[in-house]
Amino acid sequence: MSKSLLMKHAAENASFGINFGKEAKNPQTGSLKRKFESLMSNDLELSIKRPKFEVSVYGDNILEFNQPRKSLVNCQRLRSQHFPFRKSLMDYIVKNNPNVLRKLQKTCKYFLIKHPYLIVTDIWSDCNCTRVTIDGKQYWIYDEIDYFPKMLVAKSLRFGVVDPDYFHKWMRRILRWDIPEIEFADTCMSYCSFKNVTKSQKVVKWNSLLANVFEDKKKIHISLDLMLINLPNIVDFSIRQCHITSETTMNLNQLPWKNKIERLILYSIDGIFDPDSFYEFLVKALAPRAFLKLIFVKTLNQEKVDQLKNVLQYKLESWNPRVEKPKIMFDRFDHTTTYSSLCL
């Protein structure tokens, strides 16, 4: 991993400062430092006393964000920009597409100052270690989330931390929750947090096979229909605890679907549902040749589970057209069930 690319990225984002210390030994360090100072002082018509954040470079691919300083960027003398179309259109472009904003930041320094956000492709966070992808390169961060800048995530986020306080700190660091792919592990999430994470309704992949979503305070698992109502564009959906009530399958048939589900894994189904209404849901929601896996808890009556399986398999034989029939698998969950077997 080249340190020069990392330093170049930090220089392009003028909301950060760079510590060129002993940690970053590179023949071009002096040139990069002069380029950075020129970017911060000569090329911009503004008065800058201190950068908003500092980022240090260690090794080839480790970032460290330091404590923010008190004096921030003064943008009062920022040169105004004029575009050949309405300002409202430019605001829409900036606010709704991180990838476009990243290109604008590289093209025009105006966007670096007006929108000082760290734009990443994906984030993977486990305990106090975080991996981010910036401009196709992966970097590791080993420090407190409190010092992170505000971030825009273009593609995916994987979060696997038990501590709820750390989880809420992360939520405050993410500037806008319109991330297409989200995975949670080792986390107990409230339904309120779930709705905040999915409120953009742009999520296409949701995986919480190693996490639980509870009703606030009561610690009751949220039913399947209440989760899917917040995910109208979902394509890949996997959950750890599938709570089904007598009204769940009927409610599922009323949901609006903008996309077709290609992969559906329901783990620890805790109730016997009506196979007829569930089949109607499958016809409406599943994509051609979709994959479906239903995993029932071991405490359910085996005879009723077998009856439900037989009815569903019989109905699937009449799927039209037959070549687009979904692949369905059944399983029972107990303490010997492994995570890898659930993902097959």
- pLDDT average, residue stretch 30-58: 44
Where residue 230 falls among pLDDT bands split at 50, 70, 90?
A: very high
- Check whether 20 has a pLDDT greater than 60: no
Q: Which helix (H) or strand (E) holds 275?
A: helix 275-285
Number of domains in the chain: 1
133 has which bridge partners? 122, 138
Amino acid sitting at position 307: Q
Question: What pLDDT sits at residue 332?
Answer: 80
Question: What pLDDT sits at residue 244?
Answer: 87
User: What's the pLDDT tens digit per position in 175-216?
Assistant: 888 899 999 887 788 888 899 899 888 999 999 988 888 886
Is residue 250, in this structure, part of any structural domain at all?
Answer: yes
Is residue 106, in this structure, part of any structural domain at all?
Answer: no
Least confident of 7-21, 136-150, 240-254, 263-277: 7-21
Instruction: Provide the Cα torsion 225, 259, 91, 98; round to 10°.
Output: 90
Is residue 207, in this structure, part of any structural domain at all?
Answer: yes
Is residue 216, in this structure, part of any structural domain at all?
Answer: yes
Question: How far, rounded to the nearest angstrom, does the alpha carbon of residue 166 sit from its chain's CA centroid?
Answer: 16
Domain that holds residue 279: 198-342
Ramachandran bin of 217, using left for φ above 0, alpha for ψ from -120 to 50, beta for the remaining angles: left
Question: What pLDDT sits at residue 327?
Answer: 94
What's this model's pTM, rounded to 2 decimal places? 0.73
Question: CA–CA separation, 249 vs 235, rounded Å?
Answer: 19
Is residue 336, in this structure, part of any structural domain at all?
Answer: yes
- Check whether 271 has a pLDDT greater than 60: yes
- Please name the residues in contact with 85: beta carbons below 8 A apart, sequence gap of 6 or more: none
Amino acid sitting at position 229: I
User: What's the pLDDT tens digit per position in 61-120?
Assistant: 555 555 554 433 445 555 666 666 677 777 777 677 787 888 877 777 777 777 778 888
